[in-house]
Structures are given as C-alpha cells and as structure tokens.
Structure 1
C-alpha cells in the first residue's frame, strides 16, 4: 500500500565551495602549501 502522498524530500546533494567559505587569511590555506593532497584530490575528482 502506497499511503498518502508525501511532500518532496529535501535535496540530498547541494553545491558547496570551500573557496567561498574559507577566508584568505585562514590557517588552513597556509598549511595547504606544504601538504600534498594530489592523491586525495584525484580520488575525489569523480564526485565534483
């Protein structure tokens, strides 16, 4: 039995950009210069 019609479900995915949310002078930006995350970025590129 299907039951009553329910309201639309909220979106499961949404667009989010760290560049828009992390200030230019944030500590993570200076750390990013010294940490190589190329492998992780490559692995996650399919999800972008």
Structure 2
C-alpha cells in the first residue's frame, strides 16, 4: 500500500515516509511513525470504484 501511495504521489517511498513523519511530529500528541503511516494511508486511500 505504501509503494502504491508513493507511486500515486509521484515520489519515492522514503520521501513519502519523510513527509508523513514531518506531519506526525507537528501533532500535539504525535503517534508512533508506523501508526501515522497507517492513518495517512487510510486518509489518502483512493475512492473505491462504486
């Protein structure tokens, strides 16, 4: 899922993780990085074909 998301964003996986990490550390109560990645993937998942 992370590789697919990076491809959709047009960036390498490590760049996407760095972007997610930057957002994570700005949070009032930052989650762990793995949790932040999971949350980001859910929030940015492509809409299902309906």
TM-score, normalising length from structure 2?
A: 0.23
Decide which structure has greater helix share.
2
| Structure number with bigger Rg | 1
